[in-house]
Amino acid sequence: MSSERLIQPPEPIQPPPIIPPTPVPILASRTIWANVVVMAAIVVARRFGYELTVDEQAVIVAAMNIALRFLTQAPLALTGPTKTSEP
């Protein structure tokens, strides 16, 4: 009899489960509020005689949305929380 050892391959490494982020209610969204504030600021600026060109407005909104994209990660919840039935 030979005393050879059988080498077993290692168990494959399993990645951790992916847990999706909890959706943010629409009124708690920083992105929505930031866009509302910028929209209001553009309207108020126009009311007081300062007009931004369409290109300037687009650059401001785009830069703000890009910055917020790096800060936010949760999806937006367009509906209220769903009720779960308990057994």
Mean pLDDT of the residues in the chain: 83
Tell me the whole-structure pTM to 2 decimals: 0.61
pLDDT at 83: 55
Token pair for 30: 């920083």
Query: Are the CB atoms for 48 and 38 separated by under 8 Å?
Result: no
CA 83 remoteness from chain centre = 24
Per-residue pLDDT tens over the stretch 54-87:
999 899 999 998 998 888 888 888 776 555 545 4
> How far from 29 is each of 45, 48, 75, CA to CA, in Å?
24, 29, 9
> How far apart are alpha carbons 79 and 66 in whole angstroms?
25
